Amino acid sequence: MKPIALCVFQVGFDSQRAITYYQRYCDERGRERQFKIGRGDILTAEQGRRAARSILARAVLGENPQMRRQEMRSIPSLAEFVAEKYLPFVKTYKRSWGTDETVLASMSCPRSGKWRSMRSRPSISSR
């Protein structure tokens, strides 16, 4: 096991003087990484320190602390899912797919298009 050369619990301030907690560490390749823990108005300093310790422990054990965030970012948004999976599938069998496209474009996707769907339906996406 390689020793961690950098383990810094950092408190940062933005332009509105809001506090943000960060944990800095070196990954298994020796590159310096920074993990944003959360804002100071939501977390206490002790909660931030506890989270920083667990992040550092994961880094020491060789796990990537950013992996969960990267996985969540890879989940398509509702607008991406509709454009890439749903509409191409529906166009193959449904005569009124234009109505679906209009309703989704005018009502659902503008309001919730940035939401990440927690699960995609394999019956639609795998066909």
pLDDT per residue, tens digit, the chain (127 aa), is 444 445 777 777 777 778 888 888 887 778 888 888 888 888 888 998 898 888 888 888 877 877 777 777 788 877 788 888 888 888 888 888 888 888 777 766 665 555 555 444 444 444 4
Task: Compute, in degrees rounded to 10, the torsion defined by CA atoms 34, 37, 40, 45.
Answer: -100
Query: Does residue 120 sit within a domain?
Result: yes
Query: Does residue 1 sit within a domain?
Result: no
At 122 the pLDDT is: 42
Q: Domain limits at 60? A: 7-72
Same domain for 62 and 15: yes
Same domain for 60 and 91: no
Same domain for 64 and 11: yes
How far apart, in whole angstroms, are the C-alpha atoms of residue 121 and residue 81?
10
Same domain for 115 and 104: yes
> Last residue of some domain: 72, 92, 117?
72
Same domain for 30 and 86: no
Number of domains in the chain: 2
For residue 115, what is the DSSP state?
A: P
Q: Residue 25: left if φ>0, alpha if ψ -120 to 50, beta else—which one?
A: beta
